[in-house]
Amino acid sequence: MKKYLLLAFIAVCIGIIIPCKTVYATDITIGATSWYAWWGGDKPVEKIDPAFLYGPALSVKFNNDYNLTFVYLYGKHDCEGSGFKFKMKRNDADLALNYRLNDYFKIFGGMKYVGLSNLLMDWYGVGPGLGLSATVPLADSLFLLATASGFHLWTTEEGEDSGVKETEKSKGYGFNSTLSLAYYISSASTTISLGGRYQYIKPNYPEEGSANASVYGVTLTATYSFSI
């Protein structure tokens, strides 16, 4: 179920972006992003090693006030629990419509998807998010970028207990924050940014003992901009 939900999420993103790009957009930004992430908070297993998450980043500018962004990250954490080692897959996707408030700030709203899967369970959530971003010029071609956002998730956990498959649906919430330095190479129409990202997720299970997840680490993104 989780795979179909993620594919549907990506398909919706592409379905929104392609018509908008063709009809309205003048500026397109496309590239790759990565996040070397450590796991904090309550660990679902004994040990979770840091891992690289990576994927595409896309922005479509409609006019001076609105642009649509899509970022998808995927990676695998090496884990250890109950005396055996395994990998935990992580998917993280964001689709947001941004509105320019002034030369420095934008507000944005959209959809968030996050999914975790390992030998023991599949957990995933999807829901709306809202946030604020800032772009502050520091020098010629050098900028400070910052974002902060909160989101609500409808979550599903699928597992197996004594050979019986179990599914539990619930709700959760969380927030993202990023801070980075970006340098624009005008001759190549390329932007390179380096910084950090922190993400917190709190499942809201009806029973006690639900674990929170805080993931933090270093981000590196390279994007190329062009007009059509």
Q: Are 106 and 98 in contact (CB under 8 A)?
A: yes
C-alpha 152/C-alpha 172 separation (Å) is 6
Quote the percentage of the chain above a pLDDT of 70: 82
Residue 62 has a pLDDT of 86
Q: Which two tokens stand for residue 123?
A: 């957990």
Residue 228 has a pLDDT of 79
Residue 118 has a pLDDT of 85
Listed by start position, the domains of the chain span 2-227
Residue ranges for the chain with pLDDT beneath 50:
21-25, 206-209
pLDDT tens, residue by residue, 11-37: 555 555 555 544 444 689 999 999 999
Residue 209 has a pLDDT of 44
Q: What is the sign of the dihedral through the CA atoms of 43, 45, 47 and 53? A: negative
Residue 65 has a pLDDT of 92
User: What's the chain look like in SS3?
Assistant: CHHHHHHHHHHHHHHHHHHHHHHCCCEEEEEEEEEEEEEEECCCCCEECCEEEEEEEEEEECCCCEEEEEEEEEEEEEEEECCEEEEEEEEEEEEEEEEECCCCEEEEEEEEEEEEECCCEEEEEEEEEEEEEEEEEEECCEEEEEEEEEEEEEEEEEEEECCEEEEEEEEEEEEEEEEEEEEEEHHHCEEEEEEEEEEEEEEECCCCCCCCEEEEEEEEEEEEEEEC
Q: Residue 11, exposed/middle/buried by CB under 10 A (0-12, 13-18, 19+)? A: exposed
Q: What is the pTM of this model?
A: 0.85
C-alpha 217/C-alpha 53 separation (Å) is 10
Residue 53 has a pLDDT of 97
- Name the maximum alpha-carbon separation found in the chain: 62
Record: fold of 2-227: Lipocalin (2.40.128)
